[in-house]
Structure 1
Amino acid sequence: MRVMKWSMIALAVSAGTSQFAMASAQDDAKGFVEDSTFSINTRLLNFRRDNRNNETGQSYSNETGLGFNGLYQSGFTQGTVGVGVDVIGLLGVKLDSGKGRNGTGLFPEGSDGRSQDQYSKGGGAIKFRLSNTVLKVGDQYTTAPVFASDDSRLLPELPQGISLVSNEIKDLKLEAGHFTSSVAQAQTFKDSILDFPETSRGIKQANFVGGTYGWTPEFTTSLYYSKVEDYWRKYYANVNWTHALGADQSVAVDFNIYDTKSEGAGLQRAYKDDVTKIDNRAFSLQGAYTIGAHTFTLAAQKVTGDGDYAYGIDGGGTVFLANSVARSDFNAEGEKSFKARYDLDMATFGVPGLSFLAAYVTGSGANMATTSNGKEWERDLEAKYVIQSGPAKDLSLRIRQATYRSSDGVYYGSSSIDELRLIAQYPLNIL
């Protein structure tokens, strides 16, 4: 699941109108060591899930873990083509669990069904830079809307492959990727993201190309294409517009659409008992109005055609749709859904770093194995505080609560789910 935020919807492109080439970033390279950075992000997570009326499986999970995400990024050597490396080290430590309380997705599970005490993974990538274009080969995180690694648990997914990102033209970001494996969030080996665990079938290869262009300081568009061998091909488009109405007022509109069609063997994992070929469109339209400390958001989402909007083998974050929230994505075949959300930034009231949100999403018309009009709803509440100064500066404390209900019980094996996540996160920049 992906909790969408406006800062993610407006992708990382500086908006403007000039189309002239930008100054070369490689010309400013100071050296392999001189431009190096090293950071460690520490995350403490308590995850509780109550499947209130699950009659066929475990009804309650409660686990706590501590995750360390270390990232070393060298600078680039000087010269026409700069060379550098990135090194990633990940460690997860179990603090509390137990047989009968596991299954939150925080840890790998052993042959005895218990969560492992600790696990680690990592890797590295070599990178090359020519002007403002970077080629990277190896282990790396991905953020493309058609191939996005997930970071919703203790440790993130870690794909392996080749990526190319070019910013040669002002306001235009182009990127492409070729990936052949990925390490799941709670696993330690490649190709552990499996849509078909019984056959150990992971990624053969996933390829994508696309980009984002800032037409004006307020208006951006994106277009991407991807193909995952033996699964599907996808097109993705995005239109994002923001406009300031005054010193403390603004509006924002965001439109996303995926067009997905089965390719080759047409493999997929669906929520239904039967697996059907995919040929669908999933789109969402979201609008937000901000006045002072308050942001009011409304969104509509629809899936048309055959099959659910499918993702996962191409990254657990590959669902840039407005109604993909904490528990559900509201992405079933034929489903239409609506969202209302309220955000409050307490900085306006003299408490910088403190924020709250409340959201409600309702969906209907889902075509499932047991019904042609499945219904579901979800309510999300969150409070977050980021320390602004002192020795603990940037330490964030967050409480997330989700209440989920569906009419038929086919979603996630339960029609009533309550979740609570307590998260403390501290980013430490060492270099």
Structure 2
Amino acid sequence: MAWVSAPKRSIDQGFPRQWAAIIALGLASATPALAAGQAEAEGFVEGSSLDLFLRNAFINRDYRDGNQDKREWGQGIVANFESGFTQGTVGFGIDAFAAYGLRLDSTRRRAGAGGIDFFYRDPTTLEVERDVAKVGASVKLRLSNTVLAYGDLRPSLPVLNHDDARLLPESFTGTMLTSTEIEGLEFNAGTFHAQSRKSDEGRDSGGLKGIDVIGASYQFNDALGAALYFSDVDNVVRDNAFKRQYANLNYAMPIASNTLSFDFNGYRTKYDVSGDRNRIWSLAATYETGPHAVTLAYQRSSGDVGFDYGFYQNAGGTGNGGGSIWLANSYWSDFNGKDEKSWQLAYALDFAQYGIPGLKYRVAYVRGSDIDTDLTTNGKEHEFFNQLSYTVQSGAAKDLNIRLRTSALRVSSDAADYNVSGREVRIFIDYPFSVF
């Protein structure tokens, strides 16, 4: 698939910081013929919901080559309130959340891994937070099927995806417009100026300077879908400011009673000051037959630097969300080094057809090569991944999910400045339930 170049009026020329332009775009798409969204508003109270989410999470990383092992264990609870919209042409509502995490185990030596980051460790004293509490809220307006929200948000976009894969989720403060006026099409545009670190309190504990995002996804039919997104990240360290483009194309082809699907994902990044570039893409083919699914994927990184994403700007990161890497070969390692090529073979099994609904297993092997570092142009890494998960299907514990995950990662010594070898274990117990 060819890369689609940015329009002549690119987002670095002010969009979407021009909030009026965002609102106008959404209103322009709100055609009367498709105005069912707000017309069916139940009311502020009648459409409200309160959900609780409990998570007990444990991650242990047993590093090799003399690196200090890391381990964190915590109990988290997140309450999510979503109001309905007031009735009328324009609906008004409020969303809010509260999160609390309690440290159950970790020491000064074992905490502080960027890839775990359950609880913040002070870089000077090395003291680890005993707990973390945070709250957030946003106001929202809806016209037809277009929603404009401002406040503390948790976007899930390929160029700005909040990290919800640890104990507590990240959040961002800013404005987001989401429009679904045309069936199958979702349009998003937003601007954000603060980031709440998942392991620390405070609205801008991540030190974010600014991120602008715009893009859309479209489902052409049951078989074909595509997406295109752009972002402009303004970093505290100006040398790290960059512009990024993302493209996706996915296609599912039925073969008798089976399915063969293809999923392409790609990013193109250019840094503002240095002019360094990176292109990274992956193509995954998955064949599903009955309870079985086999995936073969190839991923390729090229350019002046490797693909960089996530972590926090005040800690030297990009600040664009710890989940902003929608690529096939992303497990413990993301196989995103400079010039890295990687292959994946994976197998998944759903035990529902064997009389155990809710039980699933996935195993994957990924091998990367040609990593360009200060010592070599042929660095290597490989990872063996296993995950067993079970979701309770009924009863008082309905929807409770248990995930057991292990990874064994080996990195060649000449690529040690890119990644580190080790063995990882994750145990997550999630329990979501509705209060009303």
Report the TM-score when normalising by structure 2. 0.86
Aligned pairs for 1:236-385 (under 5 A) are 236-247=246-257, 249-263=258-272, 265=273, 277-312=275-310, 313-325=319-331, 327-385=332-390
Code of the aligned partner of 2:369 = S
Equivalent residues of 1:20, 1:170 under 8 A apart: no
- 2:394 is matched with which residue: 385, 389, 392? 389
Q: Is the 8 A contact 1:255 1:283 kept in 2?
A: yes
**Counterpart position of 2:185:** 172
CA deviations 1:275-297 (Å, max 9, x no partner) are xx531211110000001110000
1:95 CA drift (Å):
1.3
> Which blocks of at least 5 consecutive residues in structure 1 are unaligned?
1-18, 194-201, 267-276
Q: CA deviation at 1:67?
A: 0.7
Amino acid at match of 1:298: L
Provide Cα deviations, 1:127-169, integer angstroms capped at 9, x if missing partner. Answer: 0000000000000101111111111210011111100000011
Give deviations 1:254-293, integer Å, cap 9, x for gaps: 0011111012x45xxxxxxxxxx53121111000000111
Counterpart of 1:120, as a letter, is A
Q: Secondary structure at the match of 1:242?
A: strand
- Contact 2:376-2:415 at 8 Å conserved across structures: no
Q: Matched residues in 2 for 1:21 and 1:418: separation?
A: 56
Q: Matches of 2:415 and 2:94 in 1, distance apart? A: 46
The 2-side partners of 1:413 and 1:240 are apart by 31
| CA–CA distance in structure 1, aligned partners of residues 294 and 406 of structure 2 | 19
Of 54, 63, 79, the match for 1:70: 79
Matched, 1:181 2:190: no
> Conserved in 1, the CA contact under 8 Å of 2:232 and 2:243?
yes
For the Cα contact (< 8 Å) 1:90–1:122, is it kept in 2? Answer: yes
The one-letter code of the counterpart of 2:87 is Q
- Partner secondary structure for residue 25 of structure 1: helix
Q: Distance in 2 between matches of 1:299 and 1:40?
A: 36
Residue in 1 aligned with 2:151? 138
> In the TM superposition, what are the counterparts of 1:211-226 in structure 2 within 5 Å?
211-226=216-231
Q: Which of 52, 60, 72 in structure 2 is aligned with 1:48?
A: 60
1:66-86 per-residue CA deviation (whole Å, 9 max, x = no partner) reads: 011111000000001000011
Residue by residue over 1:308-333, the C-alpha shift from the partner in whole angstroms, topping out at 9 and shown as x without a partner, is 112111111111111111x1111111
Residue in structure 2 matched with residue 94 of structure 1 by the alignment: 103
1:122/1:219 CA distance change after superposition, 3 Å: same
Q: Distance in 2 between matches of 1:208 and 1:257?
A: 16
Provide closer, same or farther for how the CA distance between residues 409 and 158 of structure 1 changes in structure 2, counting only shifts above 3 A: farther
CA contact (8 A) 1:278 1:308 kept: no
What does residue 228 of structure 1 align with?
233
Gaps of 5+ in 2: 1-30, 311-318
Distance apart, 1:243 and its partner CA: 2.6
Q: What does residue range 150-169 of structure 1 map to in structure 2 within 5 Å? A: 150-169=163-182
User: Shift of the alpha carbon at 1:52?
Assistant: 2.1
Give runs of aligned pairs for residues 14-53 of structure 1, distance below 5 A: 22-53=34-65
Report how far residue 409 of structure 1 moved.
6.1
1:81 paired residue number: 90
Question: For the residues of structure 2 that align with 1:147 and 1:37, how far apart are their CA atoms?
Answer: 26
Identity of aligned residues (%): 39
Q: Distance in 1 between matches of 2:393 and 2:352?
A: 11
Task: Quote how far apart the aligned CAs of 1:184 are.
Answer: 1.5
> 2:130 & 2:329 partners in 1: Cα distance?
35
User: 1:117 maps to what in 2?
Assistant: 130
Whether contact under 8 Å (1:381, 1:401) holds in the other structure is: yes
1:404 is paired with a residue whose SS is strand
Conserved 8 A contact 1:21-1:170: no
Question: CA 1:87 to 1:105, structure 2 compared with 1: closer, same or farther past 3 Å?
Answer: same
User: Counterparts of 1:69 and 1:85 in 2: how far apart (Å)?
Assistant: 17
The 1-side partners of 2:158 and 2:75 are apart by 28
CA-CA distance at 1:62 after TM superposition: 2.5
Aligned residues: 389
- Matching residue's letter, 2:366: V
SS of 1:216's equivalent?
A: coil
Q: Give the alignment's Cα RMSD to 1 decimal.
A: 1.8
Q: Distance in 2 between matches of 1:259 and 1:417?
A: 30
- Report the AA paired with residue 100 of structure 1: R
**CA offset at residue 109 of structure 1?**
2.0
Amino acid in the other structure paired with 1:254: D
User: Paired residue for 1:271?
Assistant: none
Residue number in structure 1 paired with 2:23 = none
Report the CA distance between 1:108 and its aligned residue: 1.4
Contact 2:214 2:230 in 1 (8 A): yes
Which residue identity is paired with 1:257?
A: G
Q: Distance in 2 between matches of 1:116 and 1:227?
A: 32
Counterpart of 1:269 in structure 2 is none
State the alpha-carbon separation in 2 of the partners of residues 143 and 93 from structure 1: 26
The equivalent of 1:11 in structure 2 is none
Instruction: Give the Cα separation in 2 of the matches to 1:20 and 1:252.
Output: 36
Contact 2:373 2:414 in 1 (8 A): no
Instruction: Note if contact 2:81-2:96 (Cα within 8 Å) is conserved in structure 1.
Output: yes
Q: Displacement of 1:23 after TM fit?
A: 4.5
Contact 1:51–1:414 under 8 Å retained in 2 = no
Q: What is the distance in 2 between the residues matched to 1:411 and 1:132?
A: 50
The structure with higher relative contact order (CA 8 Å, sep 6+) is: 1
TM-score of the superposed pair, with normalisation by structure 1: 0.87
